[in-house]
Structure 1
Amino acid sequence: MKALFKIGTIVLLAFSYTTSMGQQKKVLRKELLNAVINQKITMVDIKEISMESGQVAPKHLHPCPVVGYVKSGTVIFQVEGEEKVVLNEGDAFYEPKNKKILHFDNASKEKPLRFVAFYLKETDEENIKLIN
């Protein structure tokens, strides 16, 4: 009982200290993406990629899953079998392993596009394969 009282007192004091300091700020977490990856990941290759205004990416696929987010700009994005979507600054995306990416295009004719891609690799797969 004494131990329980001591623990309760310590928790109460710690709470009182942090709230009285007034400097403790909440950590906010905004969910951007929730994707199921069905493979063992042994390596992550992270790239920042830039595309010029109006630039269109060729059709391609990735031998490994790719997750990422748009740092600046707007993207027209389409995975084979899915609807075309528009991604804006701060949006996240998922490109499944070995699935055709029909569009990853800079939607703006005036502004460049910057995004970060995380290539989730099992071994030493290539990052990208261009397709017809």
Structure 2
Amino acid sequence: MSPLAMLAGSVGAIFMLAGAAWALRLGGARIADADEASRTADDIVSGFEAERAVVASDGQAAIVHGRDGSIVVLKVHGAHIAGRRLARPVEAVLVPDGLRIATGERRFGTVTLRGVTEF
């Protein structure tokens, strides 16, 4: 088989896999709005009662304020939304992209809410 035929076959297989992932709605999760962020935080964190939420302009992160003063930071992780409850952010800093929150949890990491200037 010629190298050109092998290349064409490989590219075709990549497009088929990408199409299958798109059809199965794999990846590409997004937080649509503040209502969805509030519902998600309530679902992820047992006993949390959302009061208000701020969603990043790209839908990849959100911060949800609870009735008890705690917050839940949400971020898109593949096809799912992950969240962590914080008594307070370890660090919240305005950066050119928006608001960066350091959760203080190594595995969850830092979350940037693009387009957000306050919370």
**Aligning the two structures, in what range does the TM-score lie when normalised by the shorter sequence?**
under 0.3
Kindly indicate whether structure 1 or structure 2 has the higher relative contact order, using CA contacts under 8 Å at least 6 residues apart.
Answer: 1
Using the size of structure 1 for normalisation, the TM-score is 0.24
Q: Which has the larger radius of gyration?
A: 1
